[in-house]
Chain A
Amino acid sequence: MAVTHLRCRECQAEYPLEALYVCDRCFGPLEAAYDHSRLGGDVDGLRRRIQAGPQNIWRYADFLPLVDGPPGPSGRLASRTGLPAGCTPLIRADRLAKRLGLREVWVKNDAANPTHSFKDRVVSVAAARARELGFETIACASTGNLAGSVAAHGAALGLESYVFIPADLEEQKVLATGVYGTKLVAVKGNYDDVNRLCIELSAERDWAFVNVNLRPYYAEGSKTLAYEIAEQLGFELPDRCVVPIASGSLFTKVVKGFDEWRELGLVEGELPRMNGAQADGCAPVARAFAAGHELCKPVKPDTIAKSLAIGNPADGPYALEEARRSGGSVDSVSDEEIREGIALLAQTTGIFTETAGGVTTAVLAKLAARGDIDPDERVALVITGEGLKTLDAVRDTFHVHEIDPSAEQFTTLVERAPADATGVPAAFANVGQER
């Protein structure tokens, strides 16, 4: 395997591949480091090796921080071991593109993962590494999607699990986590309070907190989103990528994935312009970007996009660096725009996303309206989660025609009903139609 050690992202101090996440010397975050020269310089051979891999993230095992290789009794069985994540559809969204005045938009639909969010990528890697390290219990602090993924991976792998969530989480996410038989703990506070509690607990317990002490392994799983987008475009890069930002980890790891493949020669061309997407009600990174700051001032979240509601984003400074280096930006949108974004994506692509995807879609629409996107660009829109988990966001955004079982009523009350009599706000009516 090409992974060699953990390295402090701040001071470059090196550590062994253990359950460590903070540099003892400077408190900086630790990150997995690799020696890709171990993969040899045969780029065509490497591409063939990837393409011959299983239909999940383990096809990229050469770039992931597992010491014993892909999980399972053999690499051939990796597609049938645990709860395989990844290889989600990349869909060309011509109707969405046309509606926004763009030429080429691709939607990466990560709701098509086992527990319906991109979190299955990171948890697959963290849970596999937890097993390699001998842990018997996995745990997490979650804004909702991670909760379900950790609970499900615990069930699939036979590991005990503890899941800590903010007490005000959407009911759908609570139900879709508890069903897996995890120990579910609702903490009276916001995500930042839950995270602080888990950091304290992790010091005293012999558990693999996937996003605390296993974080250097966990975070690497997000790189597979970049690999897949590139591979599904025929080993080419998009010109631009719109990605949601909560802690900033996904955003920075997508960049790391693109950069690694560029360095190896698996893809050619510039780093895509990286556009981060946040909700106005929790926009510490977008505000720091607009103000030209290098650090993010923490905020108290107040937004319907609860899966992005991290007011104290630890990877915010890195997300700012990458957005600036790539020529992109970090923007935010209102709760109303988020709901419109959900409707726009649903009505132009048939993909129903949760509020985080509404944020991403609305930011793409904002960039297009602002003229930031050259019409000839190839744009990738990263949709991280499933609409069925945040159903309240679409309540009252459409009209249901209720009638008796009568053909006459259908004609008079449905077919001939005036368009403005539905009570649906204009922003949502036929949002997918060309104007």
Chain B
Amino acid sequence: MGVTVKIPAQLRAAAGGESEAELEGATVREVLDSLYERFDGLSARIADENGSLRRFVNVYMSGEDIRFLDGLDTPVSDGAELTILPAVAGG
């Protein structure tokens, strides 16, 4: 068992059309790194050259924005679900 990453519609073309990926990793950063390894080209879209998330990318672990946790260093437990979504304004 690993971690389920939900891929947003805008990135599916770069992820072989997949809407989810089963990956391994102890932190959000490690899980995302294995996502980037599996799908070429995803890294450039959601992370900048330093590996930080671009400013319009939000990542949620089990529904909670990782910026309320430990960001990319947030520990990920087996069976957790990570969701990548674009930031959208409006109210």
Contact = CB atoms under 8 A, between A and B. Distances in A.
A142 interface: yes
B85 A211 contact: no
A310 interface: yes
A426 interface: no
Interface in B68-91: 68, 83, 85-91
B90 A146 contact: yes
A200 to B, nearest CB: 7
Closest 8 CB pairs of A and B: A211-B90, A247-B89, A314-B89, A203-B9, A314-B87, A315-B89, A22-B86, A249-B89
Interface in A398-421: none
A355 to B, nearest CB: 14
A212 interface: yes
A199 B90 CA distance: 12
Contacts of B90: 122, 140-141, 146, 195, 210-212, 215, 218-219, 247, 249, 314
B68 to A, nearest CB: 7
Given A196-B83, A248-B89, A314-B90, 19 more contacts: A24-B45, A25-B45, A26-B45, A26-B54, A27-B10, A28-B54, A28-B56, A29-B56, A29-B89, A141-B91, A143-B91, A199-B85, A210-B90, A211-B90, A215-B90, A297-B67, A308-B91, A312-B58, A314-B89
Given A27-B10, A28-B56, A21 B88 contact: yes
B67 A298 contact: yes
18 contacts: A22-B56, A25-B45, A26-B45, A29-B87, A29-B89, A140-B90, A141-B90, A142-B91, A191-B91, A196-B63, A203-B8, A211-B90, A218-B90, A249-B90, A298-B65, A308-B91, A314-B56, A314-B90
B71 to A, nearest CB: 11
B65 A21 contact: no
Contact of A10 (B14, B56, B68): B56
B74 to A, nearest CB: 14
A308 B89 CA distance: 12
B68 A300 contact: yes
A262 to B, nearest CB: 24
A203 B84 CA distance: 13
A148 to B, nearest CB: 13
Nearest to B56: A27
A210 B89 CA distance: 11
Nearest to A300: B68
Contacts of B55: 295, 317
A21 B11 CA distance: 13
B67 A310 contact: no
A154 interface: no
A182 interface: no
Nearest to B60: A196
Contacts of A193: 63
B21 to A, nearest CB: 16
Contacts of A313: 89
A315 B91 CA distance: 11
